[in-house]
């Protein structure tokens, strides 16, 4: 029983790692489901049960976190950043960013401050927590 859970967790972690690694590529659910040795529908349900959110939401948060990093640490234009992290339209990027962060990308850029810790930490610890539930941050 327990060993089956361990096997399942480990395979889903492999699929999640693949998203972390290739977040800028299009989300290919069939490929991720193959990594997890599951059918697509079962993969999405099991991923959610294991990590608390769907693969799609996980990937969106990963992309938004990377875009936050680039907005914060570079002078790249917002449009370039949108495509660099894997979004295919500026509209979807801005809407998703606002849903998750509560600010537009340019508002975030104006208020963000550089964070002097290794990137592997900002990647996991500065990843926005909620999806679609964050109240807009107060901007004065």
Partner 1 sequence: MLNATAMSSIFVLDQDQALDFYVGTLGLEVNTDQDLGFMRWLTVNVPGQPDRTILLEKPGPPSMDEATAERVRELLTKGASGGWLGFDTDDAYRTFEELKAKGVEFTDEPTERPYGIDFGLRDPFGNAIRIRQLPK
Q: Which residues in this chain contact partner 1 in the complex, by CB under 8 A?
A: 2, 5-7, 9-10, 12-14, 16-17, 20-21, 50-51, 118-120
- Total Cβ atoms within 10 A of residue 17: 11
- Total Cβ atoms within 10 A of residue 139: 11
**In the complex, what is the shortest distance from the CB of residue 5 to partner 1, in angstroms, rounded to a whole number?**
6
**In the complex, what is the shortest distance from the CB of residue 104 to partner 1, in angstroms, rounded to a whole number?**
26
- Residue 62 or 109: the one with the smaller Cβ distance to partner 1 is 62
Nearest 5°: phi and psi at 109? -60, -40
- Residue 111 or 119: the one with the smaller Cβ distance to partner 1 is 119
Nearest one of 105, 59, 100 to 80, comparing CA atoms: 105
- Residue 67 or 103: the one with the smaller Cβ distance to partner 1 is 67
* Contact (CB, 8 A) for 76 and 47: no
**In the complex, what is the shortest distance from the CB of residue 43 to partner 1, in angstroms, rounded to a whole number?**
15
């Amino acid at each position: 029983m327990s060993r089956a859970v361990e096997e399942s967790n480990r395979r889903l972690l492999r699929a999640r790692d693949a998203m972390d690694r290739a977040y800028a590529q299009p989300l290919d659910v069939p490929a991720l489901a193959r990594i997890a040795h599951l059918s697509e529908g079962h993969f999405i349900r099991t991923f959610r049960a294991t990590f608390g959110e769907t693969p799609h939401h996980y990937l969106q948060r990963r992309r938004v976190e990377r875009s936050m990093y680039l907005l914060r640490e570079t002078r790249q234009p917002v449009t370039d950043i949108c495509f660099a992290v894997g979004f295919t339209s500026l509209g979807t990027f801005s809407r998703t960013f606002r849903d998750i962060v509560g600010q537009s990308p340019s508002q975030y850029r104006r208020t963000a401050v550089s964070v002097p810790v290794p990137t592997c930490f900002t990647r996991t610890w500065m990843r926005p927590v909620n999806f679609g539930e964050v109240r807009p941050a107060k901007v004065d």
